[in-house]
Chain A
């Protein structure tokens, strides 16, 4: 075989190999039948093959052909010009493409017949249809798994891959509450999770045991107690006297009254996602673009984290 053609084939194989490696590792990513992915790869392949072989064709002409033709009368700085005809293939393709373009524009895909938003709506509908059934009947384990994968994309930028809050930059979701958060809430009150009545600040928090407003020492004690998962005895009396009225004796919260302070639960997570959260650590935006299943999934995942 001719050396040039051989070289061309080697180049093509090398380039296609490189593409294959890229697509081989990224290939599964598109999911079955993502024709955008396929077309892009096909484009890359066509690009290499066509260029290499067309250029090879002309290189072979350099090697084996002879220049010929009728020279024009003019001559510029010693440069002559042949009056050769157009290369046939080029001329035919040029003409063909022009006709194709006119056809495409006027008849094939008339300019007003396509709408990218229409196409988007179809894409979304198809996507939703594909997952509708799966999403309807998910057990807790699957929800958790799904939640984990949403978490990495949507939440990890703040909470970190380990959900540890990246050294205090956001809430550490592996533990329910930290001392400084509890203190902050007691001192300032809080009312953003959508409960009918907000939690009052320290000027509204009576300790039934003492019959007086909560004191600094009591705040320290109860904060430690809550952050420690309501274990031990220190601060327990303050909690019982001050907080249990709303958060329940066991701290698990009461519907329509106050959230749990001992564990995460799907409702709490859903409330946070719906309203966002601003507190001692910083602020978290609301996530209203998530679907119902996604919220449920995140709820399952986050609940599981601190167990």
Chain B
């Protein structure tokens, strides 16, 4: 191996960094709109009666979830892959024209899919399955994009110099395989236009599965889409960026190993917790419940491994907003992976299912863990791909505190809302009749919906600060040279 430092090629990483920021803002802006709509339904008409079809809550909700999952998060996953992959495999994209071409194709096709998705969801073209709303033509495009990414992963691995795979790579591989399997099975559908000999909308399809079976496949997918979209690749990120930024060695290989294989093994079994008290067989529900509880440990394994990596390094946590983001991310990871199993206990789920407590759980995971980690990753990458220091450390600090407050407001309000609503639904009065009409259980939530909307707005403001900071970093921050980029990221005041 030669001694000259490798020149990594970050072209593709930069492209996906751009979409991470943009789609993050779009997706969360829509989320904030949704939040205000639930607090003040008048917001459904924000662009007037004429456009209400496109701006009302129900049309926008899938746009929010898909924009933040397949826009923001996935872009973040790819931006970091095209950065981390090269570095831990010790091979530059520039070494293979083919891989560069694949990368660019990957990005270009991805953009096309994004445009198609936004258009079709606004039009109301959806299959209704959560996180799998796209109709078959888009599904096919998604599969193509996914295969290209797979070729890119294994292509890069094929020409690697580092013989053994770093932990992050394990997780990226698992992300690729997991989603591939899940997505394919859950989206099996028959296009009605062709099956009926050319009648009706060409893009319409009907699911291969019906009723309870369809639900089972959907939540096998839905649960594991969370696993392989919101957990596995984000863990890949923290295993690279935290040790790298702090200069500390990973605390324990054994723990990494057990946490990884434990997660792989246990996660898939837990999907039943989305179907508790439904019409799927009892034993499957019990299985989902039991495995969810076991799942705490592999999840906490990674989080603890990261916290222990920072052993004795409190001064870094105190000084660096970048590390704060990651430490808080692991904390929220622990929080939501304890909350999930608690909600998966049958009797708790009897109350929590269908309520806002679930939405609270979702968002302490995605805001506190996923989005924090992705932003931290981008902050770490920025000086290295733009060769400039991070524009403003104080802005970063401000962002950190605003967003932390936002998350806390979000999940505490939803937590209270969910438990309150769950209890009201169940309540019987002194005569043994239902105590509350449904609308009573809706109006009581108004204050909590308002608090959530405020929390969400704060988080969105943080996103704008983030975008501004990134933009300034890219265009006008102080230039730095290689020697400043070994560990802690250089930051302006």
Are chains A and B touching directly in their complex (CB below 8 angstroms)?
Answer: yes
* Chain A residues close to B by CB (< 8 Å): 15, 18-19, 21-23, 25-27, 29-31, 34-37, 39-41, 43-44, 46-47, 50-51, 54-55, 58-59, 61-67, 69, 71-72, 74, 76-87, 90, 93-94, 97-98, 101, 104-105, 109, 111-112, 114-116, 127, 130-131, 134-135, 142, 145-146, 149-150, 152-153, 156-157, 294, 297
| A29-B427, A62-B317 given; A77·B249 CB < 8 A | no
Kindly state the separation between the CA atoms of A115 and B352 in the bound complex, as whole angstroms.
Answer: 20
Near A by CB (< 8 A), chain B positions 156-215 give 162, 164, 166
User: Quick check: is B422 within 8 A (CB to CB) of the other chain?
Assistant: yes
Residues B245-270 near A (CB distance < 8 A): 247-256, 258, 262
**Is A31's CB under 8 angstroms from B88's CB?**
no
- Nearest Cβ in chain B — how far from A53, in angstroms? 11
Whether B351 and A156, one on each chain, are in contact in the complex, defined by CB atoms closer than 8 angstroms, is no
Please measure, in the bound complex, the distance between the C-alpha atom of A19 and the C-alpha atom of B413, giving whole angstroms. Answer: 10
A190 to chain B: closest CB distance in Å?
30
Given contacts A29-B423, A39-B345, A79-B240, contact A98 B294 (CB under 8 A): yes
Chain A residues, Cβ within 8 Å of B331:
51, 55
Measured in the bound complex, the distance between the Cα atoms of B251 and A69 in whole Å is 8
Please determine whether A43 and B348 come into contact, CB atoms closer than 8 angstroms. yes
Contact pattern, B 51-92, Cβ under 8 Å of A = 1, otherwise 0 = 000000000000000000000000000000000000110100
Residue of A nearest to B247 (CB): A78
Determine how close the nearest CB of chain B comes to the CB of A244; give it in whole angstroms. 39
- Contact residues of B between 342 and 362, Cβ < 8 Å to A: 342-343, 345, 347-348, 350-352
- Closest residue of chain B to A74 (Cβ to Cβ) is B164
Sorted nearest first, the 4 A-B pairs with minimum C-beta distance are A80-B249, A111-B283, A131-B432, A58-B307
Contact yes or no, A51 B338, CB < 8 A: yes
Number of B interface residues at 8 Å Cβ cutoff, please give it: 82
Query: How far is the CB of A251 from the nearest CB of chain B, in Å?
Result: 33
* Chain B interface helix/strand/loop/mixed: helix
Known contacts A26-B419, A58-B308: does B249 contact A294 (CB below 8 Å)? no
Instruction: Identify 5 residue pairs between A and B in the complex whose beta-carbon atoms are under 8 Å apart, listed by A's number.
Output: A36-B426, A39-B348, A46-B342, A69-B249, A84-B308
B243–A86 contact, CB under 8 A? Answer: no
The answer to whether A149 and B435 have CB atoms under 8 Å apart is yes
Please state if A21 and B312 are interface contacts (CB–CB under 8 Å).
Answer: no
Contacts of A111 in B (CB 8 A): 282-283, 286-287
**New A-B contacts (19) at CB < 8 Å, excluding given A22-B419, A47-B342, A82-B250:** A22-B415, A26-B424, A36-B347, A43-B348, A51-B334, A55-B307, A55-B334, A58-B307, A61-B307, A61-B311, A78-B487, A85-B252, A90-B300, A97-B297, A101-B291, A104-B290, A149-B431, A153-B433, A153-B434
Interface residues of B (CB under 8 A from A): 87-88, 90, 162, 164, 166, 240, 243-244, 247-256, 258, 262, 277, 282-283, 285-287, 290-291, 293-294, 296-298, 300-301, 304, 307-314, 317, 331, 334-335, 338-339, 342-343, 345, 347-348, 350-352, 412, 415-416, 419-420, 422-424, 426-429, 431-439, 486-487
In the assembled complex, how far is the CB of residue A245 from the closest CB belonging to chain B, in whole angstroms?
Answer: 40
A86 B258 Cβ-Cβ under 8 A:
yes
Question: With A and B bound together, what is the CA distance between A253 and B351 in angstroms?
Answer: 48
For B317, what are the chain A residues with a Cβ–Cβ distance below 8 Å?
Answer: 62
How many pairs, one residue from A and one from B, have CB atoms within 8 Å of each other in the complex?
A: 232
A109 to B342, CA, bound (A): 18
> With A51-B338, A101-B290, A153-B437 as given contacts, are A37 and B240 in contact (CB-CB < 8 Å)?
no
* Chain A residues with CB under 8 A of B293: 97, 101
Residues of B within 8 Å of A87, CB to CB, are 252, 255, 304, 308
Distance between A16 CB and nearest chain B CB, rounded to angstroms = 11
Collect the chain A residues with CB atoms within 8 Å of residue B285's CB: 116
Structural contact, A79 and B244, CB atoms closer than 8 A: yes
- A18 to B428, Cβ gap below 8 A? no
Q: Which of A26, A71, A130 has the most CB of B within 10 A?
A: A26
Cβ-defined partner of A83 (8 Å) among B253, B415, B416, B431? B253
Check if A80 sits within 8 Å of B250, measured CB to CB.
Answer: yes
8 Å CB contact of A51 from B243, B309, B335:
B335
For A153, the chain B residues whose CB sits under 8 A away are: 433-434, 436-438
A66 to chain B: closest residue by CB: B312
| Contacting residues, chain B, for A19 (C-beta < 8 A) | 415-416, 419
Which residue from B247, B287, B334 sits with its C-beta under 8 Å from A105? B287
Please, which residues of chain A bring their CB within 8 A of the CB of B437?
A: 152-153, 156-157
Q: Report how far A111 CA is from B284 CA in the complex, Å.
A: 8
B420 contact from A22, A51, A55, A71, Cβ within 8 A? A22
**Distance from B361 Cβ to chain A, minimum over Cβ atoms (Å):** 10
